[in-house]
Structure 1
């Protein structure tokens, strides 16, 4: 098992895309303001009593969102690093519990016929314990399912609110 783990890549990339029947201007605000994530983020529903703290500006660069919840939700913090209205958002995702990790998350939006193509990606380092975990579980499948659910809910919310 340790040999298999040692052969796993030192970094990871997880990505999913969807098309939303709304313009980028209708989608982007749901990403750029952490207070709006409750309507679409798949992780918001893990622990109904999760403690949430918002900091910095209400949206855009420097905006922060910290959470502390049960063993399913864990504990962590997100910080918006780059915000290009209606086209791109980048954030630092810091997990504190159950396992410490820091990843980069990006959302790329592109105007397409009939709406917006959105790509949600996460990149990070794969430490040894992550490599061991990946011997038994496919992280792309596990996290990818959450991305797919989140994109479906973001689609629902964005199409309902319109331009």
Structure 2
């Protein structure tokens, strides 16, 4: 089956791209705003590489809800951040994430986009419904972190 499945959500955040890039590209910062942080209080995390730099990585392993996998920064530029995401549990999948940052006056339009190759399971699982809400929650939390007084 050829093709790609895309899930994306967008939010407008009162911050500049320069303020947002470090929160997205430095993987330890995700603990502040990731929608998955509260799924397992005993989640194990390991970071490698220079935080915020291309090639830096994060691996995690947790309970059934949190699963296990890794993220690696593939691009950091003024227009956004690219991340390669591999899940190993509860199912295997390889995905490309891109946070697109578009300045809009004193705010930034942040689009969180995930592309994954279309597989057999994507015919039966609506990834937009499965993951879209998580992206919305993460963008809300990122907004709170950035816009907090």
Distance 1:79 1:107 in 2: 14
Root-mean-square deviation (Å): 1.5
Structure 1 counterpart SS, 2:131? helix
Distance 1:16 1:129 in 2: 22
Equivalent residues, number: 149
**Among residues 137, 144, 149, which one is paired with 1:156 in the alignment?**
144
**Which residue in the other structure is 2:128 paired with?**
140
**Which residue in the other structure is 2:83 paired with?**
91
**Which residue in the other structure is 2:14 paired with?**
21
Unmatched runs of 5 consecutive residues or more in structure 1: 1-5
Structure 2 counterparts to residues 1-163 of structure 1, below 5 A: 10-84=3-77, 86-132=78-124, 134=125, 138-160=126-148
Unmatched runs of 5 consecutive residues or more in structure 2: none
Distance 2:70 2:10 in 1: 24
Calculate the TM-score normalised by the size of structure 2: 0.94
Measured after TM superposition, the shift of residue 61 of structure 1 is 0.2
Alignment deviations for residues 56-111 of structure 1 (CA, whole Å, 9 cap, x no partner):
11222011000000000001000001111x42111100000110110000001011
